[in-house]
Structure 1
């Protein structure tokens, strides 16, 4: 059993407060009063806990990475899941500056940013400071990815002041400098705290995405930046600490802290008592009559599903401790669904529950409402703690397979095609997929889709590979403005912001 860690109320309050002007006044009153160096550990743990809101589960940053992509859709089923068109707007790229999910996620990411910054105002030890700086950099990288500009404050600076703002060139240089400085200070583990390899992975992502952040319509990839990606990858690979997990879904299981050999950075969840919203990774896709009873919402696209070979273990199947309990499988749920006894599950009209590949943004056929769309279960269901709603599965931020595929991408972009092909095929062999005969940017992007489906990285990948504006299933042609999200309307009281073009 994992040990429970203390959550400081003041840090969580700051994370929740976000960065609207009203909330800045509230959190700004905290200042430095009433907090001494003995509280630093609590504040630091609070900054990790603050990460749950935007990152853990499908409602925040995950939704902004997945539903605008070719991997996920929320069909409106008669009156269900319409939500004033909010989900549909994400998939169709028709959001505006008042979109509630964009606004809430922006606020929550800045809550992490400021909670981590606050730690630095109270004389942390060098290691504590390095951890807080990593958490801050992690949040700021996401904000830069999503909006192209990042609000920031200095440690101890009162929140009643307008936050200053850094845009892409300056922010990228800042993140690279920060991560380079803290890597020597951070410890090697455990993986549910900031560690050297997690910081190296974030630094790799800075170098790999740098050209896309600077020019999203036509990303470029500097050879020196790609060389840094390869060097950092080799440091992690040559450490010998990680290897690909034989059973892919063990990386996400309730006991993934014990089963996974490739998770590098996670969020620790303690089943039944202290956990984020991992359960929401399986409740929204499942049907009402499955176990657990679901919301019959989230689906994937048939064109994306077709990217998998039948032999690829990532496509899913039966999983011990789950399928024998409920009949639900991991991976992609398509066709007739069964319970643990092998009996057919019915829908609410007493028709067989047969999930179909066909799905539309708006479903109107009464016989198709409950079955449209292939469902996805990435995190095996924790039935032991199901009654509490607090699952044991640690949330996965970074995995070793991403180190391998980022290295392969950097190699491919600098002409080392043979080396990249060997690396990708070594991963595909473990996953049960056939070897590629050649490697291109197109099939490497597809491979990243197969490896990291529903992990909240797809939008970033599509932008970096120059594919985000192309039409795909249930999404027509696009507007270049959508390469970044709008600064939410309720944040524009900060005069240091400039609304992104087109909004």
Structure 2
């Protein structure tokens, strides 16, 4: 059963933990800090030592679930599940805002503004991301407060459980650091609290340099306490996840702190590559309902869990699979959802489609674009018959079956995977990082191309340019919540050097001002924390 993916807990245990910790958090104004942690987490809760693993499960569950009353509920006051599920809002802010995806139903709160690049500080999706990451931070802080040496000693916790809690604490710290990483990337600043802060204290506001320094030092500090790569339970973090976040911050360090750290990026890419991961035998295995057990299990470094029975959510894979059913094609059955799906909710922008124009991509397994008789241009976003559709994600299994539910899919979202590491290694080498092997760089790109059944799989180092890698990242990693970050690193998200359909609310795209490389701090968050200031331009 797929529920084994969430640390072997049943549904009630997970929902109970989400409810328990959520109710001990102040969410009304999205200044997410725990209230008195003994109001609900009294000593009775810790009467059995399994409570500590359950409490950790609540931290993880916040990455997939939004509330305690089913997939449509939300434990963040004032936000619904569709604008506060972590993976979904991450997908919107990193992908819907760029050149790969269009969402048809612009009456859905916030989507019109995100995909047309006309957002402001009151956008509910932006607020959802800011709030949800703060919830993870609050949950992690709460876990760390409950697992100090003093509290464990007072509860007479066994030495065996104490040894496990060392690893649990490292995982909680990693999830907190990952939250700060995304805040640094998307907002450039964040409310900052740790378990050392007094409960209900006014959070400090950290800028990008402070967040970078914290994430870097925190991940290095916990490395020794994390499980080795691929030795933890599915869905739990290990050393590979810490290395991946470090590689990401180093690849983007020029954006974040104005310093090149490509050598450091290469160093951590090499650690990941040496961690026992391997490319899935089939590209599409990464995006199927059994990607926790098929060959993708060796490639995916960290998933966001989805399960049609126990972890139902309106997260990124549920959205993308139902949304990939075309208004004309009614192709839901092969994808493992209802035949009509969500009636053409998602389509492709022209510029992404054109990355697969060359004939060498005709049989490339990454090319799941369906053209039919559709026009390539989307001149009216509400016309669901305009623009091509994509069948990358599915609720089907690699063995011919389907997920258990025709709406809420079993497909985990691959937040981090090995192919991305290969491409980061190559890019960091091309940008001047030391320590990479040109022969390895060529080997990695050709492995990606070979796995994709692309006939151009004998590239040489001379073929590898930064522009090529940017395009290859889109072909390999589209709809995986990387594109905005990539375009910013290449200087092509704002400005007018590269325009795409509906960029800046122009049919053919217009230039964006530079301040839009960061999202605004939500108005509600500014109101709740006077230490925060708005980003320039908003």
Q: TM-score, normalised by structure 2?
A: 0.77
Secondary structure of the equivalent of 1:357? coil
Provide the C-alpha distance between the structure 2 equivalents of 1:165 and 1:374, rounded to a whole number of angstroms.
43
Correspondences of 1:5-404 after superposition (within 5 Å): 5=9, 6-7=13-14, 9-12=16-19, 14=21, 22=29, 24=31, 27-31=34-38, 34-36=41-43, 37=46, 38=49, 39-52=51-64, 53=66, 59-75=88-104, 80-83=105-108, 86-123=110-147, 125-155=165-195, 157=197, 160-188=200-228, 189-190=231-232, 191-215=234-258, 221=260, 225-239=261-275, 241-259=276-294, 260=296, 261-276=298-313, 277=315, 278-287=317-326, 289-291=330-332, 292=338, 293-295=340-342, 296-308=344-356, 309-316=361-368, 332-335=369-372, 354-360=373-379, 362-363=381-382, 369-382=383-396, 384-385=402-403, 387=405, 389-404=407-422
Whether the 8 Å CA contact 2:25–2:35 is kept in 1: the answer is: no
Whether the 8 Å CA contact 2:63–2:87 is kept in 1: the answer is: no
Provide the C-alpha distance between the structure 2 equivalents of 1:362 and 1:199, rounded to a whole number of angstroms.
39
Cα separation, partners in 2 of 1:26 and 1:449, compared to 1, 3 Å: closer
Q: Which moved more, 1:261-270 or 1:454-463?
A: 261-270
Provide the C-alpha distance between the structure 1 equivalents of 2:35 and 2:129, rounded to a whole number of angstroms.
21
Gap runs ≥5 in structure 2: 67-82, 149-164, 333-337, 504-509
Secondary structure of the equivalent of 2:416? strand
Cα separation, partners in 2 of 1:23 and 1:477, compared to 1, 3 Å: closer
Provide the C-alpha distance between the structure 1 equivalents of 2:112 and 2:52, rounded to a whole number of angstroms.
43
Whether the 8 Å CA contact 2:14–2:61 is kept in 1: the answer is: yes
Deviation at 1:380, TM superposition (A): 1.6
Provide the C-alpha distance between the structure 1 equivalents of 2:197 and 2:21, rounded to a whole number of angstroms.
13
Q: Which moved more, 1:386-395 or 1:424-433?
A: 386-395
Provide the C-alpha distance between the structure 1 equivalents of 2:91 and 2:182, rounded to a whole number of angstroms.
11
Whether the 8 Å CA contact 1:118–1:156 is kept in 2: the answer is: no
Whether the 8 Å CA contact 1:301–1:359 is kept in 2: the answer is: yes
CA deviations on 1:321-369 (whole Å, 9 max, x unpaired) are xxxxxxxxxxx2221xxxxxxxxxxxxxxxxxx4432213545xxxxx2
Whether the 8 Å CA contact 1:7–1:42 is kept in 2: the answer is: yes
Deviation at 1:16, TM superposition (A): 8.4
Cα separation, partners in 2 of 1:23 and 1:484, compared to 1, 3 Å: closer
1:405 to 2:456 alignment: no
The residue aligned with 2:524 is 490
The residue aligned with 2:69 is none
Deviation at 1:497, TM superposition (A): 0.2
The residue aligned with 1:339 is none
CA deviations on 1:417-455 (whole Å, 9 max, x unpaired) are 944344323322222231445111111111111111000
Secondary structure of the equivalent of 2:236? coil
CA deviations on 1:201-230 (whole Å, 9 max, x unpaired) are 111111111211125xxxx52xxx222222
Counterpart pick for 1:471 among 474, 484, 499: 499
Deviation at 1:89, TM superposition (A): 2.1
How many residues are aligned here? Answer: 452
Q: TM-score, normalised by structure 1?
A: 0.83
CA deviations on 1:150-200 (whole Å, 9 max, x unpaired) are 212221745533221211111101111111111111112334101111111
Superposition CA RMSD, Å = 2.7
Cα separation, partners in 2 of 1:287 and 1:133, compared to 1, 3 Å: same
Deviation at 1:114, TM superposition (A): 1.4
Whether the 8 Å CA contact 1:359–1:373 is kept in 2: the answer is: yes
CA deviations on 1:55-92 (whole Å, 9 max, x unpaired) are 968631111111111111224xxxx53447x3332223
Provide the C-alpha distance between the structure 2 equivalents of 1:16 and 1:50, rounded to a whole number of angstroms.
13
Gap runs ≥5 in structure 1: 317-331, 336-353, 364-368
